[in-house]
Copies of this chain bind each other. A is one copy, B any other.
């Protein structure tokens, strides 16, 4: 009855047994009377193996040839999955990115989808075929193969679901859905039945690593209902959709991001335009800044503290030194031994007590808060790395232990 797009990642099709497992999920969906489009990534380590081959020959290979190389990975998995579905007696056809109409801009390795010509996919669906599409790849105006970058298969699936006006886009992963916090670390973590796009975006950014951000943004933009669920265990997952149809929960989840560093720039001149000068320089160097805090320093100066990805801490320092050539090492304090703990939930918009409840939980656990940042649906605090797991437990217990 429905048109469903199902996406399976590399680990879900890592070997023959897993491919057959995926085929049986797809076949069941098809045999229940649905039209099914399947988007698949390259098998397990294929992409890494191909990268190794490339780097062995020439680490400075062009991006065009890298895309030519890597896109062979999905080609292999779509053919194998189609063969598995043939074995189960299903009419099926596999299509490469270009055959499925994925037109991208010209950027190799980080291409953006411009348009999907759904003609071929639609006509195969009309012929009652299951259509298996290579994720992660498309074609540019030169008729050259492009790839969409990390997590690109999620984006392929959501974009195709949007273009086909599919009823649902199911993203199969190795977890059962989106949890209130990392279930491997916190035993009483709970699986969420539903979550809004915005909450999911905050969770994805904060390191929940279930769904690629671009794909969630796209799902939001085109109103594609997502479901995150397990390819190994057949239980309902987590639905990601518009807030309007969801009951607003106070808190959806608690996340930890340890890959963060705090950079303090001390004794900047207290004149207008200083912050602009500093952060525009960082932006020009493509360094993403997360939390920003400005305070008044001594003797008519000010201090600016911000957080960046751990890998970017030294780059950020160099960039600031370029902007302010008079500064020296004395003006910097960099701390990589920290973690960012966040709570996310659309409900807190209308619930002013959430922040204080979080801070109280941390205080009772004896954890010092270094920095605070809030958005309409998120509260993040910076703590010592050694306190991170304790902080997650404390905050999670605060919001989820009672039910």
Q: Which residues of A contact B (CB under 8 A)?
A: 16, 19-20, 50, 53-54, 56-58, 60-62, 64-66, 68-69, 71-73, 75-76, 78-80, 82-84, 86-87, 93-94, 96, 99, 120, 143-145
Identify which of B53, B86, B144 contacts A58 (C-beta below 8 A): B86
Given contacts A54-B83, A58-B86, A65-B83, 9 further A-B contacts (CB under 8 A): A16-B53, A60-B87, A61-B86, A65-B79, A65-B94, A68-B79, A69-B76, A69-B80, A69-B83
- What's the Cα separation between A58 and B86 when bound, in Å? 8
Is B76 within 8 A of A50, CB to CB? yes
Which residue of chain B has the shortest Cβ distance to A134 in the bound complex? B68
C-alpha gap A87/B144 in the complex (Å): 21
A99 CA to B120 CA in the complex, in Å?
A: 19
Contacts of A86 in B (CB 8 A): 58, 60-62, 65
| Min C-beta distance of A98 to chain B, whole Å | 9
For the complex, what is the distance from the CA of A58 to the CA of B72, rounded to whole Å?
20
CA distance A251 to B84 in the complex (A): 53
In the A-B complex, the 7 residue pairs with the smallest Cβ-Cβ separation, listed nearest first, are: A69-B79, A58-B87, A61-B83, A68-B79, A72-B72, A72-B75, A58-B83
The DSSP consensus for interface residues of chain A is helix
Smallest CB separation, A319 vs chain B (Å) = 31
Distance between Cα atoms of A87 and B86 in the complex (Å): 43
Assuming the contacts A54-B80, A72-B72, A83-B65, asked whether A120 and B93 have C-beta atoms less than 8 A apart, the reply is no
CB within 8 Å for A99 and B60 given contacts A66-B79, A69-B75, A72-B72: no
User: Which of chain B's residues has its CB closest to A43's CB?
Assistant: B53
Per the bound structure, the CA–CA distance linking A94 and B64 in Å amounts to 9
Q: A62 contacts which chain B residues (CB < 8 A)?
A: 82-83, 86
Distance, CA A94 to CA B73, complexed state (A)? 17
Contacts of A65 in B (CB 8 A): 79, 82-83, 86, 94
Contact A72 B80, beta carbon cutoff 8 Å:
no
Select from chain B the residue with minimum beta-carbon distance to A145.
Answer: B96
CB of A87, distance to nearest CB on chain B (Å): 4
- Shortest beta-carbon distance, A298 to chain B, in Å? 55
Residue pair A58, B79 in contact (C-beta under 8 Å): no
Whether the Cβ atoms of B143 and A120 lie closer than 8 Å is yes
Please give the distance in Å from A329's CB to the nearest CB on chain B: 39
Q: For residue A96, which residues in chain B have a CB less than 8 angstroms away from its CB?
A: 68, 145
Report the nearest B residue to A82, measured CB to CB.
B65
The 8 Å CB contact of A57, one of B16, B53, B60, B69, is B16
Q: Is the CB of B57 within 8 A of A20?
A: yes
Considering the chains assembled together, what is the distance between the CA atoms of A62 and B86 in angstroms? 8
A66 contacts across to B, CB distance below 8 A: 79, 83
Q: Measured between alpha carbons, how far is A75 from B93 in the docked complex, in Å?
A: 20
Q: List B contacts of A145 (CB < 8 A).
A: 96
In the complex, the answer to whether B94 meets A82 with C-beta atoms within 8 Å is no
Please report the C-alpha to C-alpha distance between residue A144 and residue B76 in the assembled complex, in whole angstroms: 15
Which residues of B sit under 8 angstroms from A120, Cβ to Cβ?
Answer: 143
**Could you jot down 19 A-B contacts, CB within 8 Å?**
A16-B56, A19-B57, A20-B57, A50-B76, A54-B79, A54-B80, A60-B86, A61-B87, A65-B82, A65-B83, A68-B75, A69-B75, A69-B79, A72-B72, A72-B75, A72-B76, A72-B79, A99-B143, A99-B144
Tell me which residues across on chain B come within 8 A of A16, comparing CB atoms: 53, 56-57
